[in-house]
Structure 1
Amino acid sequence: MRRKARQASRPDNRPRFWGRHAVAAALANPERVVKRIWATREAAAEFDLDPSIPLTFADAADLGRLVPGDAPHQGIVIEIEKLPDIWLGDILDGAEEGRPLLVLDQVTDPHNVGAILRSAAAFDALGIVTQDRHAPPESGALAKAASGALETVPWVRVVNLARALEEIAEAGFWRVGLTGDATTTLAEALGPPKVALVLGAEGEGMRHNTQSHCDALARLPISERMESLNVSNAAAIALYAAVTAK
């Protein structure tokens, strides 16, 4: 897959990942550059660490000072370079039917985006698309929530989401925007085998311009006792509906 070149981050801006799933996935990803490792001796023994990467042994308390608050570092922390950007056209070219694409409109919470990446990996989604200015950066919290999926699910960041949705349509995708105001259910809106699921931020939902670039608007048939679902939960349900649609 071709990737756009990204200027290397300054050392003080490099993200740190922690937790064994996020770290193991980053170490196994040939696209990921790991600059430093801090670990307890017990945790380090569980990984096949590249000897060329600087390794510092530390106790749990010292590792806790490298991560925010009470983050569960599980004995290992790594400093990494951000992944190179991916072109939207690269994941659209030759996209397989039955593999949905997720488009996120101003979903900025890293825990939500991480959880969505995890669901995208679980349901073999084609990837996720976000607007670069209104999406969280790669971070330890996001990687921990993604449980390794940040390294395996293509994440495309675009300048203009409306233009990206036009490109997605040109590639033969049926664009379904999820909104609680729709009268059509998601099951009724699905049909073509290549589908892009568009979700907006909690509270504000999709912007009007984003909705206008969808082929259909649909809602999840949830009980009236609950006004809405967390966006990451909605994404997981929508992915399941899309991959199991007949």
Structure 2
Amino acid sequence: MPSHQVLAGFHAVTARLRHAPSSIKELYFEASRRDKRMQSLIDLAQAANVRTHPVPADRLDGLARGTRHQGVVALADENQLAVDIDEVLDMLEDKGQTPLLLILDGVTDPHNLGACLRTADAAGVHAVIAPRDRAVGLNSTVQRVACGAAETVPYIMVTNLARSMRQLKERDVWLVGTDDQASGTMYSVDARRPMAWVMGAEGEGMRRLTRETCDELVNIPMTGSVESLNVSVASAVCLYESVRQRASG
């Protein structure tokens, strides 16, 4: 079973059972746990005809490979969401929806990525895009921190981020990057148009070519003593400015 994806924790496993139950091959749970939350998960799995196995806690530790599992681990096939940018944009065009995307450049911390995916799901983001190099993939830690969002928000890893950004521009998606040195603020952005927020990793920020490929650079106003926000917090602030503007018409 080494080719299977490992899902650890209640949120990640429950989300997969609800959105793609046929992809789960085996569900392992801590034999000593028979509380209501565990029983509900087992009932959900059995209703989806997923094989369940009570096992000792140390077996779960081995399956989870260091990720906090809360007493439950599932082995599953990769969940196939949209796999490329054009697929996402074509789907949105067919539905008459205005694209809202998040581009992450250089986010290597799985906790940050998981938090970004969770916020992206909450804000209605249609896809998160990241480079294959200098970026973390959808490992079990990301799945756990994302609390199920990795099952609903396409995470598209591209070989050449700048080229993919130019591809978005050709499809009339406006690219707005966040930069501490920018003169305009995030509140000056027309977030009702088809757009992508572009975020760099905390500290390093965006790479030069990523920055140069953006259509617009803005800052997030900082009035306190800290110099920058964590990338997941910065993403949340900007994405919810889009939510606010789109909700107000």
Q: Read off the aligned partner of 2:39 and give its amino acid letter.
A: A
SS at match of 1:49: helix
Aligned partner of residue 138 in structure 2, secondary structure? coil
Residue 83 in 1 paired to residue 83 in 2?
A: no
Q: How many residues align?
A: 235
Answering whether residue 176 of structure 2 is matched by residue 176 of structure 1, we say yes
Residue 46 of structure 1: CA displacement?
1.2
* Distance across 2 between alignment mates of 1:31 and 1:65: 23
CA–CA distance in 1 between the matches of 2:175 and 2:239? 13
Per-residue deviation, residues 58-112 of structure 1 (Å, max 9, x unmatched): 244542343344x442221112223346121011123555552101112111111
Runs (4 or more) in structure 1 with deviation over 4 Å come to: 95-99
TM-score (norm 2): 0.85
User: Is 1:66 aligned to residue 63 of structure 2?
Assistant: yes
Q: Distance in 2 between matches of 1:171 and 1:230?
A: 30
Q: Structure 1: give runs of 5+ residues left out of the alignment.
A: 1-10
Which range moved further: 37-46 or 118-127? 37-46
Q: Does 1:16 align with 2:12?
A: no
Deviation at 1:13, TM superposition (A): 4.9
Contact map agreement 2:191 2:241 (CA 8 A) in 1: no
3-state secondary structure, aligned to 1:17: strand
Tell me which residue corresponds to 1:157: 157
For the Cα contact (< 8 Å) 2:45–2:51, is it kept in 1? no
Q: Which of the numbers 23, 30, 45 marks the counterpart of 2:39?
A: 45
Deviation at 1:44, TM superposition (A): 5.1
Q: CA RMSD in A?
A: 2.2
Q: Report the Cα distance in structure 2 between the residues aligned to 1:45 and 1:209, rounded to whole angstroms.
A: 51
* 2:196 aligned partner: 196
3-state secondary structure, aligned to 2:184 = coil
Corresponding residue for residue 109 of structure 1: 109
**Farther off after superposition, 30-39 or 155-164:** 30-39
Specify the alignment match of 1:33 in structure 2: 23
Q: Give unpaired runs (5+ residues) of structure 2.
A: none
Q: Deviations over 1:156-205 (max 9, x none)?
A: 11111111111111111111001111111011133551111000111111
The one-letter amino acid paired with 2:158 is V
Matches of 1:191 and 1:25, distance apart in 2: 29
TM-score, length-scaled by structure 1? 0.86
